Structure formats: C-alpha cells, structure tokens
Structure 1
C-alpha cells in the first residue's frame, strides 16, 4: 500500500494557499520522455525516475523553487541513507496536488516499517509556517550548511525537517508505521541525515 504520510503532512502543513518501445499510461499518454506531452524532467533537464502521467504535477502551489526531490535524491544518495533507489515513487496521488516529491522505502528487509519522503510546497518562510502550525511538536531548530532547519513531529512515529527554498518549503521526513516505535530521536536523526545529504543542492 502506498505510503500516505506525505499527504497527511501536506494537510497539516497548510501548504494549500525497454528496446525502444513506447509504453502508455492509463490515460493514454506516452511514458517515453522524448515523446510524452507530459513533462518528464526537472528544471535542469534531468529525467524523473518514473513516468509522470500528471500534466499538473508542477503547479502554482509548488513552483516556488526549481528544486526537485525526485532527482536531487540520486540513487547514490538514497543508498548512502539506507534507502532503496528502486522503491522511489511519486508522492502525489492525484493530478494538480499541492505537494511535489517522492517516497522511498529502506533497503534492509528488517526495516519494512520505515519509510522516507521529501516533498516541496509553496510557503513564504519557516517562521510563518511555524506560526500557522503551533500544534506541531516543535523541536529545537538545527543549522546545516549555515541554514536554519526547522524540526518537528506530528506524532511519536514521525519526524520531519523544513528548509526554506525561495518561495517554497522543502520537507524531509521519516516515519515508522507500527508499534512499538523507536525513540523519536532515532527517527529525527534519519530525517536530519537525509536533509544533510541534500541541503547543498536546495536553492536558498
């Protein structure tokens, strides 16, 4: 079952303001990046790691930064964090969704209850975002590469960071799906590690 955690984050974050053959998606669009009328690359021309069938994957609710989590978290970065590069999946479930990003599962078979995601949604600043979400369990801010990183949790099974990128927020989260849960500090450490691995590629 697809991890729905990023969708929950979206609601809570108040982001709303082979061989040459060409496969087709259910709506009839081509999954070949060279032939598809639907955008298949990030702003730097790097192909998404999946066939995008959503014409409005990029939209006015998530276009405040050129940063694209699905290409920024390369297979090498994913593996360095213990994630399975082959598990990468679009975090959006419907066309035009506010969030833009990807989900990953962990490589270790013993970590089936763990998952990670990184998503983008337009928001003006960490301070504004925090003031509109006072009900979060806010932890002390961190600093990475000279940038302020907000750290918060919705419950004892998740932790996520927030990094401002131009007119968007980049949210990097890790969650644990079952009981008993590990210490929140362990979950946050994993979220921070993925943030640290990508922050230098997140535009300011």
Structure 2
C-alpha cells in the first residue's frame, strides 16, 4: 500500500510530495490519526509535518526509515512513537519509548553543521566521534537526575541527532549508560543516512 489512512480517508502521499518536489519514503502529511504500512511506525497521533526551512537539508525521514524489527532490536517499542516535529517545528523526527519504559530514544533532523555541536558553551562535554565512517559529535545532557546523551551525524546538508534520555533510572536498568545506547543506535542509523 502506498499511502496512509488519515481519519478513515486515503491520502495520496506520493502525489503530494512529487508536486512539492520533496518526495521521500511515502510519508503522510495531514491531521488526525495516521496509520502507515510503509515502515515500522504503526501509527502516529497527530500530523507528520513536512520538511521546512529548519530541517529540509536531507531527504532522510527518521520516522519511516526503519522496520518494527529494527526499532525493537534497539530496545525500543515501535508502537510507542511520538512525532517530535509536531511539537517543535525546528526539528523533524520521532521519539520511541524503550521496551523497559524507563527511557526514550529520539531521531531528529535539523539544518545545522556537525561542527556547531562542538561548542562547549552550548553543549556538555562535546567530543568528536566517528560512527560507521561518519564524523560526528557526542555530548552528554546537563541534568544529572535525567541522564542523557546525544550523537550528532551528518546527512546531506543537515544533521541527524540520536538522543537517548533515561527518564526513570529504576525502570531503565537495561540502559545503564545513555552514551553507550546512543552510540549503538547511531551505529545502526549511520549506514542508512543519505550522504
């Protein structure tokens, strides 16, 4: 099936993207409850915003690039997904809850350069990192009670962030180190990114 059910109707996704010049993975744009048969995302409540001037530097769409099995292999629940772009128009991507329930992982796109994330005034302990041949940056969150870690990777004229946040240390015992988990997910994501 090419398209998605939007509030009971079928939206011709491909025609929309071809007309706008932004064809990607067959992603639905609309409002309401969306269901897709094109990836591991079973549904996203609310709209899936199209790329905009803050996040259109890559054709990569984190929400629809992976199967449910791939998402599950990272320790995430493919049925518990939130579209981050609906909440923050500067980002495009999705957040999944961990299978244990105590942590989340987020894949987002922004039109920034990798080098911007090396600024220690803005990011906590940023360090260069190479993941699957891509030169990126890794940095930690600033709130000790909510451990987090982000890996930034290049994709075309944008960056992709792999953000792991431990929201409940007791429940997230399967993620004792958010940076190790962020690197693990980034290693799986990096080969799929458009150059």
Alignment partners' CA distance in 1, 2:48 and 2:64 = 18
Which stretches of structure 1, 4 residues or longer, exceed 6 Å deviation after superposition? Answer: 35-39
Displacement of 1:144 after TM fit?
Answer: 1.7
Matching of residue 152 in structure 1 with residue 101 in structure 2 = no
Displacement of 1:53 after TM fit?
Answer: 5.3
1 or 2, which has the higher strand percentage?
A: 2
Alignment partners' CA distance in 2, 1:38 and 1:87 = 27
Q: Is the Cα–Cα contact under 8 Å of residues 42 and 68 in structure 1 kept in the other structure?
A: no
Residue 103 of structure 2: aligned partner: 114
Structure 1 residues 159-191: Cα deviation after superposition (integer angstroms, max 9, x where no partner): 010001121110001101135797x97110111
Q: Is the Cα–Cα contact under 8 Å of residues 38 and 53 in structure 1 kept in the other structure?
A: no
Displacement of 1:147 after TM fit?
Answer: 1.3
Which is bigger in relative contact order (C-alpha 8 A, separation at least 6)? 1
Residue 115 of structure 2: aligned partner: 127
Structure 1 residues 107-151: Cα deviation after superposition (integer angstroms, max 9, x where no partner): 2xxx3221111000111x2113433x6332124322122111210
- The unaligned stretches of length 5 or more in structure 1 are 1-21, 25-29
**Superposition map of 1:24-173 within 5 A:** 24=7, 32-34=10-12, 43-45=24-26, 47=38, 49=41, 50=43, 54=47, 56-94=49-87, 97-107=89-99, 111-123=100-112, 125-131=113-119, 134-155=121-142, 156=144, 157-173=147-163
Alignment partners' CA distance in 2, 1:35 and 1:154 = 37
Alignment partners' CA distance in 2, 1:36 and 1:144 = 32
Out of 161, 184, 188, the residue aligned to residue 193 of structure 1 is 184
Residue 10 of structure 1: aligned partner: none
Q: Judging changes above 3 Å, is the alpha-carbon distance between structure 1 residues 129 and 160 closer, same or farther for their aligned structure 2 residues?
A: closer
Q: Normalising by structure 2, what TM-score? A: 0.73
Alignment partners' CA distance in 2, 1:91 and 1:31 = 24
- The unaligned stretches of length 5 or more in structure 2 are 28-37
Q: Normalising by structure 1, what TM-score? A: 0.70
